[in-house]
Amino acid sequence: MAVYTHLGAEDLARLIARYDVGELVSAKGIAEGISNSNWLIETTRGRFILTMYERRIDIGELPFFLGLLDHLASRGCAVPATIHDRDGAASRKVDDKAVALIEFLPGVSPTQPSPEQARAVGAALAQIHLAARDYPQTRRNDLTPKDSATTLQSHGEDELALIDPALPQVRERAADLLERWPEGLPESIIHSDLFPDNVLMLGEEVTGLIDFYFAARDMMAYDLAVTHAAWCFDKTGARFDPAIGQALVAGYEAVRPLDPVEREALPVLAEGACLRFVASRAEDWLDTPADAQVLRKDPMDFVRRWDFYAEEGARAFA
C-alpha cells in the first residue's frame, strides 16, 4: 500500500482525538496514490480520509489546497470539505510532517467509464472552474510544459532508457511543443489531475472530485485536455475511445461553453498534458524508493497518447 510513514494505533487515536469526530474505531491504509500516505479512518461518528503529506507538496501551500476544498464545497461542488481540528486548524503536524482530515464521500472510481459518466465528469469539471474564479488565493502551476521539459532534461538519456529505450527521444519533442504552446486562454483554478481514480461516482452521478493537490491557476481548457487524456484511452494509451471524448467535452460545454480559440487549442494542450505525465511518471519511476509498496506507472502509456494527439488531434476533439 502507498503508506510511507506508519503510524501506530495509539498515535492515530491521539491524532483523531484532536478533532471533534468521535473516537477512533479503525484505520486502514489506502493503496492508491504515490505521493502521500493515506488512511481510511472510521470513528464512532463516521468515516474520514486522513492524509500525511510526504512528497511534492510544499507544506506552506496547504492553506491554498485545503481552503480551495472548503471554497468549492461551500458553492455546491462535489468535493470533500476539510475537517478542522478543535482549534479551528485545517491541518496539523505529526513530528515534522503535516496531516489533514478530509470528509469521506460515497462512491467508487470507474475503471471502464461510460460516455454518460464522462459527460457528468465534464460538467463537474466546468462547475469547479466557474466556482473557483473568485477563490481569493492563488498558486502558480509548477507542472507546466516548460517545467516538465526541465524535469526530463534533469535525467540523463541512460537513466530514461532504463525505463524504455524510446523514452529519451521525448526530450526533443518537448522542445518543439514549447514553441507551439498557446498563451492567454481564460484561466481559473484548475484540478490538473482529474484521472478516473480521482472521481467518485454512484452510477452516472459524480459524488466527489478528490485529490486537489496539484491544483493551480492555469488555463481552463488545459485542464479539460488533461482530463481528456486521462479518460479517453485504455490504460496503455494504445486505444482511443471517441465516444468518451465527445461526451466529456459535451458535458463540459453544457456548463461552460468553450471559446473558439480554446477549442482550436485543445489538441496541442492535450500534447502538453501528455508531456506532463510522461515527465512526472519518469521521475516517480526513478525516484520512488525500492522498498515502497507502490506500483510504478509506465510513462510510455502517455507517450502513446501523445503520438495520437500529434497525429490525429483534430479527430480527437471532433
Intrachain domains 9-103 and 115-316 with the same fold: no
Q: Alpha-carbon distance 219 to 92, whole Å?
A: 32
Check pLDDT > 60 for residue 3: no
pLDDT tens track for 250-309: 999 999 999 999 999 999 999 999 999 999 999 989 887 665 556 778 999 999 999 999
The candidate with the shortest Cα–Cα distance to 119, out of 245, 291, 305, 247, is: 247
Domain 9-103 has CATH 2.40.100.10: no
Asked if residues 210 and 197 have their Cβ atoms less than 8 Å apart, the reply is no
How confident is the model over 19-23, as a mean pLDDT? 97
How many Cα atoms occupy the beta-carbon half-sphere of 37 within 13 Å? 16
Give just the sign of the alpha carbon dihedral 164, 168, 170, 171: positive
Check pLDDT > 80 for residue 243: yes
**pTM of the full predicted structure?**
0.92
Written out in words, the top-level CATH class of the domain with range 115-316 is: alpha beta
pLDDT value for 313: 86
pLDDT tens track for 74-121: 999 999 999 999 999 999 999 889 999 999 999 999 999 999 999 999
Q: Where are the domains of the chain?
A: 9-103, 115-316
pLDDT tens track for 166-217: 999 999 999 999 999 999 999 999 999 999 999 999 999 999 999 999 999 9
Asked if residues 39 and 30 have their Cβ atoms less than 8 Å apart, the reply is yes
Check pLDDT > 50 for residue 1: no
Q: List residues bridging with 140 in a β-sheet.
A: 217
